[in-house]
């Protein structure tokens, strides 16, 4: 998108928005690109960290990130090749854990820009990012007696409720146009008629980000003092929900761990009910429903998505015996619709449905390129409804998510499921029911060679 410049007068007219952030004082605006004193020496490694709820309109978020980076470069006098922001899907590939790159960016970026939405405040990961950066601001305040204006909440989609951590920031949405106040930044970006208001907002945000880096840089946290991301508390959730497990509690009982259960046949079992068995392997956990678009097994892909959310995970195949209830755990049942046509798997699914816990979700992929499944979808849908009768009757989207037609849709749906499941486990207030591991205690086994 071509970005037009905004006059200094227009920018200064909107400067009051940032005077209200964190009770900041009235600081004269710098000319775009102007750096004080030994400019580059004082400048943070990155101008800003973009915090957002993953899968929250990702293509639009990426466009906003690119547009804002362009505006920041113009105002800082930097070349187009300069890296000025951190956006995690650009820096951390799928399947990576919350790496040191993300922690370093939170510890070193000059401004924290949060795209607030209903999903953002549900996300524990976003709450952790907010908390880690807030602790940097508070650390500077203790050292200098002044509080910086480096946390900027921008409403991507106006939420109905705002957590106390955000309410404490005295932001003034009236400084922006009526489209933003009514519908948020997302709608400004999506509708062409809002382009002028969107570009004005971009310019004001970019000015404040450059201002933070040039006149009041927030000191970085030294590497030895940086918190491990998965152990950071969330600013948006109860203080006690991250209580550490005792040494004997298994990973499966923690809210940062998810158990994926694969309800699919192996290749031999699948051949009894369908012609095309290319989607199956020697073991159920090798099921790859999104071939040829995605060659990975669904189990590996699901674990990658969980890792992207900061969760550890395990995988096991559904069996007709020895089922365990979900208890206070996050459990995601990944179901091949063809499994409802195989007697042993159908019985196991029915048993699981009877014993399913509130934090368990059933997800049913359906590859839009799998012609045989499409031709038989009415039969398969009837089988799913008869097995998941209680969930279907309840009509709750969290508990039963059928007909997921692509791996990208699966990625988005699973991220939502994991956040909701976490909150359900928190609200139950239940500790793990596991006993200390010892002789005679079995552990989950990943089927495979």
pTM: 0.50
Q: Are residues 126 and 85 in the same domain?
A: yes
Listed residue (205, 176, 195, 207) closest to 2, CA to CA: 195
Q: Are residues 16 and 99 in the same domain?
A: yes
Q: What is the pLDDT of residues 239-271, one digit of tens each?
A: 544 333 333 233 334 568 899 999 999 999 999
Q: What average pLDDT does range 89-93 have in this prediction?
A: 45
Supply the range of the domain harboring residue 23. 8-231
Q: Are residues 199 and 252 in the same domain?
A: no
Inter-residue contact 313 to 288 (CB < 8 Å)? no
Q: What is the pLDDT of residues 210-219, one digit of tens each?
A: 999 988 788 9
Query: Greater confidence, 56 or 127?
Result: 127
* Residue 117 maps to a domain: yes
CATH number of domain containing 167 = 3.40.50.10140
pLDDT band at 363 (very low <50, low <70, confident <90, very high): very high
Q: Are residues 200 and 269 in the same domain?
A: no
Q: Are residues 217 and 297 in the same domain?
A: no
Least reliable range by pLDDT among 227-236, 318-327, 429-438:
429-438
Cβ contacts of residue 440 below 8 Å, gap of 6+? none
The rounded mean pLDDT for the chain is 77
Residue 358 is predicted with a pLDDT of 65
* Residue 393 maps to a domain: yes
pLDDT band at 137 (very low <50, low <70, confident <90, very high): very high
Residue 382's CB is within 10 A of a number of other CB atoms, namely 11
Q: Are residues 413 and 325 in the same domain?
A: yes
Q: What is the pLDDT of residues 231-241, one digit of tens each?
A: 788 888 765 44
Residue 13 has pLDDT above 70, yes or no: no
Rounded CA gap, 72 and 419, in Å? 32
Residue 202 has pLDDT above 60, yes or no: yes
Q: What average pLDDT does range 307-312 have in this prediction?
A: 84
Residue 27 has pLDDT above 80, yes or no: no
Q: Are residues 249 and 179 in the same domain?
A: no
Residue 86 has pLDDT above 90, yes or no: yes
Cβ contacts of residue 8 below 8 Å, gap of 6+? 29, 31, 32
Q: Are residues 194 and 321 in the same domain?
A: no
Residue 29 is predicted with a pLDDT of 35
Q: What is the pLDDT of residues 97-128, one digit of tens each?
A: 455 788 889 999 999 999 998 878 877 788 88
Listed residue (24, 30, 25) closest to 12, CA to CA: 30
CATH number of domain containing 419 = 3.40.50
Q: Are residues 278 and 203 in the same domain?
A: no
Category of 242 on φ-ψ map: left (φ > 0), alpha (ψ -120 to 50) or beta: alpha
* Residue 2 maps to a domain: no
- The number of distinct structural domains making up the chain is 2
Query: Greater confidence, 179 or 429?
Result: 179
Q: Are residues 64 and 17 in the same domain?
A: yes
Inter-residue contact 102 to 128 (CB < 8 Å)? no
């Amino acid at each position: 998108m071509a970005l037009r410049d905004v006059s200094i007068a227009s920018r200064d007219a909107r400067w009051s928005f940032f005077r209200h952030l964190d009770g900041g004082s009235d600081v004269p605006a710098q000319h775009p690109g102007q750096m004080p004193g030994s400019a580059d020496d004082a400048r943070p490694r990155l101008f800003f960290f973009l915090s957002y709820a993953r899968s929250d309109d990702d293509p639009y978020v990426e466009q906003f990130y690119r547009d804002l980076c362009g505006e920041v470069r113009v105002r800082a006098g930097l070349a187009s090749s300069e890296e000025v922001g951190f956006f995690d899907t650009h820096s951390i590939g799928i399947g990576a854990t919350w790496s040191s790159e993300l922690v370093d960016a939170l510890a070193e970026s000059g401004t924290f820009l949060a795209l607030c939405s209903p999903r953002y405040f549900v996300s524990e990961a976003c709450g952790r990012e907010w908390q880690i950066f807030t602790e940097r601001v508070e650390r500077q305040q203790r050292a200098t007696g002044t509080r910086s204006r480096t946390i900027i909440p921008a409403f991507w989609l106006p939420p109905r409720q705002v957590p106390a951590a955000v309410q404490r920031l005295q932001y003034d949405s009236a400084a922006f146009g009526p489209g933003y106040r009514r519908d948020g930044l997302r709608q400004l970006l999506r509708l062409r008629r809002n382009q002028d208001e969107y570009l004005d907002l971009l310019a004001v945000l970019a000015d404040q980000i450059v201002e933070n880096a040039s006149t009041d840089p927030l000191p970085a946290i030294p590497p030895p003092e940086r918190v491990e991301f998965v152990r950071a508390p969330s600013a948006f959730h109860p203080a006690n929900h991250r209580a550490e497990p005792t040494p004997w509690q298994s990973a499966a009982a923690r809210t940062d761990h998810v158990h994926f259960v694969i309800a699919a046949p192996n290749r031999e079992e699948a051949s009894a009910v369908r012609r095309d068995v290319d989607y199956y392997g020697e073991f159920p956990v090798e099921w790859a429903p999104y071939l040829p678009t995605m060659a990975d097994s669904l189990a590996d892909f699901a674990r990658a998505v969980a890792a992207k959310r900061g969760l550890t995970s395990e995988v096991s195949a559904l069996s007709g015996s020895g089922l365990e209830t979900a208890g206070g755990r996050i459990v995601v049942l990944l179901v091949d619709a063809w499994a409802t046509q195989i007697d042993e798997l159908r019985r196991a699914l029915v048993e699981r449905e009877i014993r399913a816990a509130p934090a368990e979700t059933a997800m049913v992929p359906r590859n839009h390129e799998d012609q045989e499944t499409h031709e038989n979808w009415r039969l398969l849908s009837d089988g799913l409804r008869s097995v998941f009768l209680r969930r279907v009757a309840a009509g709750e989207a969290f508990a039963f998510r059928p007909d997921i037609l692509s791996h990208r849709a699966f990625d988005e749906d699973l991220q939502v499921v994991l956040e909701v499941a976490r909150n359900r486990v928190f609200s139950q207030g239940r500790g793990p029911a596991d006993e200390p591991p010892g002789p005679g205690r079995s552990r989950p086994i990943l089927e495979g060679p």
